[in-house]
Amino acid sequence: MTLATTITIIAIAFIISALLALPLIPMLRRLKFGQSIREEGPQAHQKKAGTPTMGGIIFIISIVVSAIAFGWMNGLLTTQTVVLLLVLAGFGLIGFLDDFIKVVLKRNLGLTSLQKLIGQIVIAVISYLLLRLGPFETTVGLPFTSFEIDLGPFYVLFLIFWLVGFSNAVNLTDGLDGLVAGTSSIAFAAFGVLGLVYGQEDLSLVAFSVTGALLGFLLFNANPAKIFMGDTGSLALGGVLAMLSVLMKQELLLLLVGIVFVIETLSVILQVISFKTTGKRIFKMSPIHHHFELSGWSEWKVVIVFWTAALAAALIAVLPEVI
């Protein structure tokens, strides 16, 4: 894949997202598909109530169209690209149902945690079975070393944990304007570059399609956001990001590339453990981006700092493979 092709993929996905957003945002406003803001969240967020949500539809469509079109033209439509798009659409559907129930049917809880978990597990297992139709390594390696462990038949359990874990991690991170769109675009760009280094152009195709689509969406999602991605977008992004790491056999490297998602999730886990065992909170509010907000940081400052951390982690992960 040439540099020109890479730029073209990103540009086309960017344009599709931007063009889709223009009519969709006012349509969602007319339909009153607005986000409800939790009362226990930062009070500054209450002004965001009514902002259109379910915007993940925009970049999911852009990714699918871009990946299929360029994949067909360049002979890169493989089992792996199909699996990635399956995870994207499947996890996106779970998020869409959750958003639809909350926003349209006015049931605040949406899908139950168990319902979402069952859906995520089903998609993960289907993906695993599709991959097992051909040669598929069940090893998990330690980044920057030759050390690896073969999980054998237990790899499916790891796959389920990985996809469910990261889809929920990205979902937890989606609390500030542009935070997930920015950090995710960086993470996918990093895996896109790694795919080129490893000769896995079919995976790079999808990764760069996601990067471009998210940057186009970010035009309308940056502060002050005109639209939110909702669970439709965040669950889809987390699932496909985890699957990318699996297909590149760089599963554990995702802990570095997706460091922001990992820290956000750990902040929630630590907060719950601390409160249940000691009755005290470690952070003013979790996930940790809210802690910084309540500590006096502007929303934009939190987002920029987290974007910078994501970029630094991506460079640390990618540069050793490129140099």
Binding site for Mg(2+): which residues?
171, 231
56-74 and 79-103 helices cross at what angle (nearest 10)?
Answer: 160
| Cβ contact 235:171 at 8 Å | yes
Q: Could you tell me if 217 and 247 are in contact, meaning their C-beta atoms sit under 8 angstroms apart?
A: no
Binding-site residue numbers are: 171, 231
Six-digit token string for 242: 């985890």
List the Cα angle 139/146/135 in 5-degree steps: 30
State the SS3 of the chain. Answer: CCHHHHHHHHHHHHHHHHHHHHHHHHHHHHCCCECCCCCCCCHHHHHHCCCECCCHHHHHHHHHHHHHHHHHHHCCCCHHHHHHHHHHHHHHHHHHHHHHHHHCCCCCCCCCHHHHHHHHHHHHHHHHHHHCCCCCCCEEECCCCCCEEECHHHHHHHHHHHHHHHHHHHHHHCCCCCHHHHHHHHHHHHHHHHHHHCCCHHHHHHHHHHHHHHHHHHHHHCCCCCCCCHHHHHHHHHHHHHHHHHHCCCCCCHHHHCHHHHHHHHHHHHHHHHHHHHCCCCCCCCCHHHHHHHCCCCHHHHHHHHHHHHHHHHHHHHHHHHC
